[in-house]
Structure 1
Amino acid sequence: MAMITETTCNIYCGPCESKHSENVAEFWCPNCDEGLCSKCMEYHKVSKASRMHKTITIENFTTLPDFVRNIDHVCSSHDNALDLYCSVHGEVCCMDCISAEHSECPGIKSLIKEVQGVKESAFYHSVVKHIEDLTEFATKLHTNRIDNVDKLQQEKDLLIGVVKSKRTEIASHLDKLKQHLLLQIDVTMVQESQKIEEAVSNLQKKICTLKEYKNHISAITDIATDMQAFLALKEIDNHVVHEEETMLCVTEETGMKETSVRIEFAKEIDGLVHEMKMMGNVELTKIATNMHFPGTKSQLVKSSSNIQPGIENIKLTFITKFQLPFDIDINICCCVILPDERVVLANNSNEEKGGIHIFL
């Protein structure tokens, strides 16, 4: 890869560097994974090995997220081009990777064909929709928590008024108990508000993170190659799944409970004034926020095959055959393959010959 310094403008031409010359690159070739100056770009356009490569300007290249720019096109283990895709493990591979680690994996595909049309695929739209759903849910939770803080403040004002009114009704000797109760209210409100404000802060961070992923996708859609987009979307999707899992944890935190507060006055308030030790207790009511979570990633059935959906893309593979040990005509109405690879056939011929047949 061409040398990239801390300033994004200092990306040097790869071919020139190989000749020990430093020329600032004006273009970037994702296939070659290096920058090109204007002179080398002309050779790049006409070279048989690179004339079909799609290049972009350095300005556009530097707008891509770092993790997209750092996607490798060459296998780090074997130094070969990553031009194959294992759908079993969801990994890009080179020929040596297939021999060493994926020799028994069915469905090894050409990476070029696998990533073709990724920016218009169902997989692409599912990642975007997933981010939008989580963002919408987090925004609703964020608003709900802020409203709860306002509600607590209103309840606080109301409770203080109730306490003062009760204090006037009873005797002046309860002033000390009144101050104690007001302090208890203040402490409770501060503690609960802090918990909710912490939840609000966490949700705000989630929203910012999800919006950043959405912005990354916009940049990827406009600029990145199909392979970059495919691999970047998979990485973003993994991050979004993680954000979803942590989102579920956030919803179960104490600060996410619908918090309310009230005062239960002591039974002796209307009676034995001089014997009372407490004026009342501050009580909290917590109710789970009544908001529908958009769903977990595990509930979404998706795979890279979603890039080209449709029954016409399903391919059957012949594995084996066996001869049924029957001399008479039978009527097979159902077939099941057990986890241990035994085959179970349901024979619906007649009462005498019918039944369940299990084959090893």
Structure 2
Amino acid sequence: MASRIFRGSNKDNAGDFIGESTVTQSCEPCMKTNISKTATVFCKDCDEFLCDTCKNPHTVYKPGQHNIVNVPENKSAPVILDMKGFDKCHEHAREIVFFCQDHSKLCCLSCVLIHRKCDQLDEIAKVSTQTRPDLQGIKQSLIKLQSEADAIIADCEQSETGLNESIAKISSEVETMKDRIIQLFEGAKQKLISEAKQFKTAEVKRIGNKRDASLKVKEVLNNVLSMCCVVLDRGTPSQQYIYSEQMKEKQKTIESTIDDQRKIKCSSTMTVSFSKQVTSLLEMGSNSIKLNYADNKTVNTSLLSLSPQPMPVTLELLVSVDLPQTGDDKKEPLLTGLDFLPDGRLVAVDNKNMKCIILNERLQRLGTPYKFKNNPGSVVCVSHDTLCVTGGGGGIKVVYLLSVSTDNTITLTREINTTSKFDSICCMSPSHMVVSTLDDPRPARMVSVDGVESDFDHFLTFPMKTYKVDESKCTYVQSKNTLVLTDRLAHTVYMNDTVNRTSRAVTNENIQEPRGACPGPGYTVLVCSKDNDSIVHLTIHGKILGTYPVDMRYPRSICVSKDDTRLAVSNSAEGTKKLHLYKISPAIN
């Protein structure tokens, strides 16, 4: 019983220490039978609390003297405290009665068997009367810890509230930035339109002056031609001689005037180009916005994105098909133009058999090929269902606009007659294409989907050559405003920045008789090296990122899918025509 009795215990201190525990004075005989009754008297001789029911049996049947007092009269009466298991040994669940000073451990009777050889094993009932523990100090320490726990909980709640407020603030800041960018673009658009209108006004004036001057020349020519006819038919030899001498000077003046008007170049189209910062922003995609933690660490909000820097790639051959003369083919196929539709279907033009063909991901023909009247040259996809095909060689000056349906039906929608013969063709913008020329001193030109032709800025440096069939091809890297021109016989690739007006000629032992070219992933270009039977991967600055041998002789035409994951290439070797489809993956260092 001694281990459960604290004489002179402080009820408030005990309650603070144990929490919900209470100090009670119960009848001890009733407690032995698991009955809880409040004690009304206390036997000093037996040191036992009793209720009214147990008081008489206690004095009658229990031997010895019994000094019975009422509980309220005993101001120093001991009380029984429910320790909530604190007075039990954790190992044996028995009542704690000893304290081992050697091991600083509370012990029950079972523990004593282990600690019986310890030098100092004190009975708690005796040592507790000699040394009073500093419960008040412990209480203050616990109160302090409780305050610290409350502070941590409050900090956690504040952090959670801060995170919720941060999300709302982030959303607001992004919306604000988006509105600023939209306003910026609207302002740039208005400025651009204003400049375009001013340019148009100036050009229209120049065109009017040029037209008026030409009309005056024409009027003079009409008069002198009329007079010339009369003199020629009715004039005497003397009159004819005089008129002839008179017209020599007149003719020189007219020729000079016409030559002056011919030199005046008037623009018929205007295009828009975007700065490096804008195109870089588009290529960064979701990586253009970063999330910052409170500790200033930055986390990328996108798991995967294309690198803004040109990177090497690997090519994995997916499908290879031979292209023999079959069916209604009159000749062995020669695929002079390739391009992907946005949905992944491949478009090919067969120059020799005058066809446009749709192929699936297994390079199997879909639908019925479209039949041209002349030999097509090259093809480009300008929208989700529209193709532009050049007339190729043979003196044909035409561009075909074709429509492709989801069921692979190809329909001619328009024929555009051109002033130059065009060979290769690629997209410059949604409404304009870049074309390489044949038998023209201008190696590359521009043509709109409406059929309006125009020339590049004269500041660009082009080879002083007039190319024949298969001597030069072109492509255009839209994100970098870079025109790429191949010169097969000079083993050279020309890179022309159309905005900064800079040009670079790239020659390398890996580039031998370059043929077709197309934009690659990022700011890169892929070029067919005919004599090396390979594909060369270059940056727009001319650095070679890689060279990839292909299992075909004389690779000629090449294209990359819109998502930069597939590459198609065909060749021109007689008797061994092939078409390959590759998977493009980032190279792992």
Smaller-chain TM-score bracket: 0.3 to 0.5
**Which protein has the larger Cα radius of gyration, Structure 1 or Structure 2?**
2
User: Quick one: higher RCO (CA 8 Å, sep 6+), 1 or 2?
Assistant: 1
TM-score normalised by length of structure 1: 0.34
